A = this chain, B = another copy of it.
Amino acid sequence: MQCRIISIGDELLIGDTVNTNASWMAQTFTEAGIEVSRIDTIKDELPVIKEVTREALASDSIVITTGGLGPTHDDVTKQAVAELFDSELIVHEETLSFIKKIFAKRNIPFSESNYRQAEVPADCEVLLNTQGTAPGLWFERDGKVLAVLPGVPYEMKHLVNTYILPRLRKTLLGTEVRRSYYLLTSGIGESTLSDEVIGELDSYLNTGVSVAYLPGPEGTRIRIRGRAPSESALEERLQPLIGHIREKAGAYIVGEGKDLRLAEAVGTVLLQEQLTIAVAESCTGGSVADALTDIPGSSRYVKGGVIAYDNEVKIAQLEVNEDVLKEVGAVSKQVALQMARGIARRLGTDIGVSTTGIAGPGGGTKAKPVGLVWIGFWNKDQHFALRAQFTKDRLANKKRTTAVVMEMTRRVTSNIEEMPYGLKKQPA
């Protein structure tokens, strides 16, 4: 069945807010098997809301609106819906006491305009919103469903997860089972992955099974999506495909999960092997440490690091040899090697990684252009550096270098010899 999303809000048309609500709903509904046919973004204007909602109900079986449920005079969605159904607004007692309680708890005086928030069209079902003050509304008529939701993201998501999805699943989807698997890969380009490593998948792509490659800053996520009449039928359809992809792309697969982050996968491997790590950063300026420590519990394997932006700091804090630095410069294989070993020794960790490069946009020369980065690695068995060349975009260079450092660490720790993006280990 098809669904129309109507996003109501002047701020969306002025460009002050990006319509992430609609994307989240589109993604969530698609995963649940509900196809979104169209997303309309319109103003907080009563006649427009009425017209677009009427037109949507004529063509789609499910219509979801967000926005315009606040207490100000700009919020006209409820009035528009009431008029659309030849209804009127009445005070919903349960909602009224709920709102009054919240205001009392926060010591805010309850004013006239707050009564508006407890008003709902007669003949609708009220969906109590425990995450905010505006209730959601549910209308079912002639095989059509209209859900009217608040625009505040966590309130909208709460209502979609608590009421909308379960009801839609029950009413319309029968017993069909749907699932999406996500495999995160890193250190390989999207086209190389799809065309050369994994290749043609036609024999695995039968009814209800699809594969998509979703590129991102940390790597390409492979989404395998399937639907079938039952759990066992779904497994039967998906497992051969997933197995084939894992077999082909093995070394490049960092882990599974829609929101899996590279830093999390690295942390998992370090914990498994009971290894600790320290970072010595120059051009990445803290980005690597920041990424690693975003993961809860990372203090178990990240001991710390040094941001050696100034060459003096490289010498004094990381035991980089002053003569070598003067001779070959900070952005060099030798300095990267020394920084990686230096930080591991200083902080007493199993692994030391380093970055030294030219982040840009300025600072480059013919011999050492902007975007050149040396990445060092040290542990008791290996000591090498990778030479990478990025572009002129400072922020992208930081992000991409950070991803390479993490993927390099994951691979070495997992005993994978090949380095990210075909970069070659240059041993000490």
A residues neighboring B (CB under 8 Å): 12-20, 22-30, 35-43, 48, 212, 214, 279, 281, 284-294, 296-299, 302-310, 312-313, 316-317, 346-348, 359-362, 394-395, 398
* Given A279-B307, A290-B286; A26-B12 close (CB under 8 Å): yes
Residues of B within 8 Å of A38, CB to CB, are 13, 40-43, 48
Residues of B within 8 Å of A14, CB to CB, are 26-27, 30, 36
Q: 10 tightest A-B contacts by CB?
A: A15-B27, A285-B293, A286-B289, A15-B26, A286-B286, A286-B290, A39-B41, A304-B313, A305-B307, A18-B23
CB pair B347 A313 closer than 8 Å = yes
What is the chain B residue whose CB lies nearest that of A31?
B15
CB pair B290 A317 closer than 8 Å = no
CB pair A309 B293 closer than 8 Å = yes
* Given A13-B36, A394-B294; A309-B302 close (CB under 8 Å): yes
Residues of B within 8 Å of A214, CB to CB, are 16
What is the chain B residue whose CB lies nearest that of A302?
B309
16 new A-B contacts at CB < 8 Å, known A15-B29, A285-B289, A303-B313: A13-B39, A15-B26, A15-B30, A285-B290, A285-B298, A285-B302, A286-B293, A294-B394, A294-B395, A296-B359, A296-B361, A299-B309, A299-B310, A304-B317, A307-B307, A310-B347
CB pair A296 B30 closer than 8 Å = no
How far is A317 from B319 in the complex, measured between Cα atoms in Å? 13
How far is A292 from B12 in the complex, measured between Cα atoms in Å? 31
Residues of B within 8 Å of A290, CB to CB, are 284-287, 289-290, 398
Residues of B within 8 Å of A18, CB to CB, are 18-20, 23
Residues of B within 8 Å of A279, CB to CB, are 286, 307
Q: List 19 A-B contacts (CB under 8 A).
A: A13-B36, A14-B27, A15-B36, A16-B27, A18-B19, A38-B42, A285-B292, A285-B302, A286-B286, A294-B398, A296-B394, A302-B307, A303-B309, A303-B310, A303-B313, A304-B308, A305-B306, A306-B306, A312-B348
Residues of B within 8 Å of A292, CB to CB, are 285-286
Within the oligomer, what is the number of copies of this chain?
Answer: 2
Residues of B within 8 Å of A317, CB to CB, are 304, 306, 317, 346-347
What is the chain B residue whose CB lies nearest that of A276?
B310
How far is A99 from B30 in the complex, measured between Cα atoms in Å? 36
What is the chain B residue whose CB lies nearest that of A13?
B36
Choose among B12, B15, B348 the residue that contacts A28 (Cβ–Cβ < 8 A).
Answer: B15
A308 CB to closest chain B CB (Å) equals 5
A200 CB to closest chain B CB (Å) equals 17
A337 CB to closest chain B CB (Å) equals 19
How far is A173 from B306 in the complex, measured between Cα atoms in Å? 55
A131 CB to closest chain B CB (Å) equals 15
Residues of B within 8 Å of A286, CB to CB, are 279, 281, 286-293, 305, 307
Choose among B35, B298, B307 the residue that contacts A289 (Cβ–Cβ < 8 A).
Answer: B307
* Given A289-B285, A309-B302; A15-B19 close (CB under 8 Å): no
CB pair B296 A362 closer than 8 Å = yes
A24 CB to closest chain B CB (Å) equals 7
* Given A285-B294, A347-B313, A398-B294; A23-B27 close (CB under 8 Å): no
A373 CB to closest chain B CB (Å) equals 14
A414 CB to closest chain B CB (Å) equals 23
Residues of B within 8 Å of A346, CB to CB, are 316-317
CB pair A16 B398 closer than 8 Å = no
How far is A16 from B17 in the complex, measured between Cα atoms in Å? 18
Residues of B within 8 Å of A212, CB to CB, are 16
CB pair A13 B40 closer than 8 Å = no
CB pair B19 A23 closer than 8 Å = yes
* Given A13-B26, A287-B286; A310-B304 close (CB under 8 Å): yes
Residues of B within 8 Å of A30, CB to CB, are 13-15
CB pair A312 B307 closer than 8 Å = no
CB pair B15 A25 closer than 8 Å = yes
How far is A387 from B29 in the complex, measured between Cα atoms in Å? 43
How far is A394 from B292 in the complex, measured between Cα atoms in Å? 13
